[in-house]
């Protein structure tokens, strides 16, 4: 146990080590998330019942993202550190820090409970906005499920506060267990509660997962001497400072969450199961961003902030350039593999029980469209933090809000064009081989999301290039090298898939898994060889990093609302 704790608390050596360690650690959480989605696909499957659940999930999720990000770990920790100077030892929280967090605890708890109560009362009216395409019976179901899950943002928000303490004292193992227990709660709800209580059992599982998420953080924080309490002595000047720091970031996260609410609302007017198809595909496409984009962005942020604070422009540009090129190095090949192997990925992860072949094809097509923006999503995570590192929060906020509005508008326009222009509809359906499946209009939503996200990336990149890189085209070389290698990766994977399909067949799990795995492996080997011939810098740095003991790097974790 001591060895494990020493590894967990080990300070990272460089950016590559930290990002790789974080990426591998996030991978474990992502794998459990895949088991969660597979359980949902097996026992429930796309349809009106699951549509109601996913639609109901968006309101509590919006509350959590909006309110909890106001007091997120990245915001609170600097304020706590200022008050830790009088701490009685390395593993205890000072009285001044405890009083400060108790004030935050009080204001947060009162605020989120009050908002949850108001939303609880207004849900029958809100549902006409968030699920306007559902019939009255389904809308009633959405209201019921949302009311059950309104407990989750309260519990998750409190867990986020306690996580400030566990993160502050390097209890990364404890901090990292929370998302795992959260997913376990949902899986328990699907497997054990759904057969008895129906879709309400899944909502109860969400609350149980949120409670487990909170409980493990609370126990660990208490062991560190932190016992929050409700207090009447609140210094609102401190609260104002926290809100001033966190508000721009909160508005940016809220804009994206609101865009998803409206997109889901559009999907409620489409064929039954459309919301489920959209959500399954969205969950799959967020995996690369979590493993790559957030990993490098979180690892780079303290280095960027330190370089800017010391007025070292060259160091700032170096860290930004290195991180951006590394993201491109990873995401372009993954994008191509996701597009080529989309059916195999979806069938292996979700193809079980109630999840039909028609659903597989629709989710696969949606995944391909989402994948177009994997690079953009990952780069936005980094480029927005370049601004945060300098204290500039207005620029990324304006870009995020503008592009969220663009996604909403484009979703409406594309659905209208798809339904009223047969040529465009036939073109899209033929491209993804779904002409014989009903409900293909759902493909317009991931397309709109990707186009809006790409615009978001372009605006961020132009701004960062102008403000920090002095017009330097700092990603072009890596972009074109990775793009060229990606063509070889996609081509070799597609040819291998064509050769292996008759051998393994498409009717068994093992056959589909082997097809996808071997085809992807061949593509990666070919792409790696191409990059080696091109003397790609990122490939050489990866090889050097793998030679070090990067698994001993400190786990630098993103905020829970980002996960």
Model confidence band, residue 174 (pLDDT cutoffs 50, 70, 90): low
442-446, 456-460, 525-529, 549-553: least confident range: 549-553
Rounded alpha-carbon distances, angstroms, from residue 40 to 44, 48, 134, 389: 6, 13, 21, 39
Among 79-88, 237-246, 430-439, top mean pLDDT goes to 430-439
Give mean pLDDT, residues 102-107. Answer: 84
The pLDDT score that the predictor gives to residue 93 is: 59
Block residue for tokens 């990775």: 482
CA distance 230 to 228: 7
Instruction: Tell which wins on pLDDT, 291 or 6.
Output: 291
175 touches 120 (CB < 8 A) = no
Helices (H), 341-469: 342-350, 357-371, 374-389, 394-420, 422-431, 444-467
pLDDT per residue as tens digits for the range 395-409: 888 999 999 999 999
State residue 288's pLDDT score: 85
b/e map 520-558, b = 16+ CB within 10 Å = bebbbebbbebbeeeebbbbebbeebeeeebebbbbbbb
Section 287-305 average pLDDT: 79
Q: What one-character DSSP code corresponds to residue 54?
A: H
Which pLDDT score is estimated for 294? 78
Give the model's pLDDT for residue 555. Answer: 45
Q: Is the pLDDT of residue 322 over 70?
A: yes
CA 478 – CA 310 distance, rounded (Å): 28
Residue 12 banded pLDDT, cuts 50, 70, 90? very low
The answer to whether 119 touches 150, Cβ cutoff 8 Å, is yes
**Highest mean pLDDT range out of 57-66, 343-352, 441-450, 520-529?**
441-450
The model's pLDDT over 352-395, given as tens digits with 9 standing for 90+, comes to: 888 888 999 999 999 999 999 999 999 998 898 888 888 777 88
Looking at residue 94, its pLDDT comes to 65
Query: What is the C-alpha to C-alpha distance for residues 304 and 563, in angstroms, rounded to an integer?
Result: 22
Lowest mean pLDDT among 63-67, 205-209, 554-558: 554-558
Of 288-297, 336-345, 403-412, the least confident: 288-297
Give CA torsion, residues 152, 153, 159, 162, to 10 deg. -150
Q: Is 90 exceeded by the pLDDT of residue 82?
A: no
- Name the pLDDT band for 310 (thresholds 50, 70, 90): confident
Mean pLDDT for the stretch of residues 247-251: 78
Confidence of residue 8 (pLDDT cuts 50, 70, 90): very low
Which of 204-218, 360-374, 469-483 is predicted least confidently? 469-483
Residue ranges of domains in the chain: 48-257, 273-548
Burial of 415 (0-12, 13-18, 19+ CB in 10 A): buried
478 token code pair: 């890596």
Alpha helices (H) in 189-289, listed in sequence order = 194-197, 199-223, 236-267, 274-288
pLDDT, residue 556, reads: 46
Contact status, residue 100 vs residue 83, Cβ threshold 8 Å: yes
| Residue 407 pLDDT | 95
| Residue 295: per-residue pLDDT | 75
For Cα atoms 265, 268, 274, give the angle at the middle one, nearest 5 degrees.
115
Residue 480 has pLDDT above 60, yes or no: yes
pLDDT at 489 over 50: yes
**DSSP type of residue 12:** P
The pLDDT value recorded for residue 7 is 45
pLDDT digits (tens, 9 = 90+) for 116-160: 999 999 999 999 999 999 999 999 999 999 999 999 999 988 888
* pTM of the entire predicted model: 0.85
pLDDT at 53 over 60: yes
pLDDT at 10: 47
């Amino acid at each position: 146990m001591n060895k494990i704790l020493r590894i967990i608390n080990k300070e990272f050596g460089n950016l590559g080590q930290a990002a790789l360690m974080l990426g591998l650690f996030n991978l474990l959480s992502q794998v459990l998330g895949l088991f969660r989605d597979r359980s949902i696909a097996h026992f429930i499957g796309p349809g009106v019942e699951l549509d109601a659940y996913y639609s109901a999930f968006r309101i509590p999720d919006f509350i959590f993202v909006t309110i909890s990000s106001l007091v997120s770990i990245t915001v609170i920790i600097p304020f706590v550190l200022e008050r830790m100077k009088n701490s009685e030892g390395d593993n205890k929280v000072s009285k001044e820090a405890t009083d400060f967090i108790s004030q935050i605890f009080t204001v947060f708890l009162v605020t989120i409970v009050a908002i949850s109560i108001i939303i609880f009362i207004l849900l029958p009216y809100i549902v006409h906005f968030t699920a306007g395409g559902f019939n009255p019976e389904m809308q009633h179901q959405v209201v019921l499920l949302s009311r059950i899950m309104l407990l989750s943002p309260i519990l998750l928000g409190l867990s986020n506060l306690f996580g400030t303490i566990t993160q502050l004292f390097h209890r990364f193992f404890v901090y990292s267990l929370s998302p795992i227990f959260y997913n376990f709660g949902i899986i328990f709800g699907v497997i054990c509660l759904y057969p008895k209580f129906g879709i309400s059992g899944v909502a109860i599982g969400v609350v149980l997962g949120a409670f487990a998420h909170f409980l493990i953080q609370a126990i660990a924080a208490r062991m560190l001497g932190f016992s929050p309490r409700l207090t009447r002595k609140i210094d609102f000047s401190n609260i104002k400072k926290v809100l001033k720091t966190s508000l721009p970031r909160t508005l940016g996260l809220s804009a994206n969450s609101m865009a998803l609410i409206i997109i889901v609302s559009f999907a409620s007017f489409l064929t039954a199961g459309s919301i489920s198809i959209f959500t399954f595909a969205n969950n799959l496409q967020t995996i690369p961003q979590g493993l790559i984009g957030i990993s490098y962005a979180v690892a780079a942020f303290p280095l960027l902030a330190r370089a800017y604070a010391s007025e070292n422009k060259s160091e700032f540009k170096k860290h930004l350039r290195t991180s951006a090129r590394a993201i491109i190095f990873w995401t372009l090949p993954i994008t191509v593999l996701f597009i080529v192997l989309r059916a195999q990925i979806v069938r292996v992860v979700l193809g079980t029980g109630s999840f039909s072949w028609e659903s597989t094809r629709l989710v696969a097509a949606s995944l391909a469209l989402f994948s177009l923006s994997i690079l953009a999503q990952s780069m936005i995570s980094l480029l927005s933090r370049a601004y945060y590192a300098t204290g500039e929060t207005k620029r990324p906020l304006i870009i995020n809000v503008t592009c969220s509005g663009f996604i909403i508008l484009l979703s409406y326009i594309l659905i209208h064009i798809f339904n009223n222009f047969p040529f465009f509809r036939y073109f899209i359906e033929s491209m993804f081989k779904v002409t014989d499946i009903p409900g293909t209009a759902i493909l317009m939503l991931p397309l709109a999301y990707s186009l809006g996200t790409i615009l978001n990336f372009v605006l961020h990149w132009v701004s960062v290039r102008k403000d920090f890189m002095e017009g330097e085209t700092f990603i072009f070389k890596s972009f074109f090298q990775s793009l060229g290698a990606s063509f070889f990766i996609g081509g070799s994977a597609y040819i291998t898939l064509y050769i292996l399909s008759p051998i393994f067949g498409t009717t068994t799990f093992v056959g589909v898994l082997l097809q996808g795995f071997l085809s992807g492996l061949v593509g990666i080997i070919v792409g790696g060889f191409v990059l080696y011939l091109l003397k790609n810098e990122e490939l050489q740095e990866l090889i050097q990093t793998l030679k070090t003991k990067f698994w001993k790097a400190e786990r630098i974790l993103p905020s829970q609302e980002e996960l």
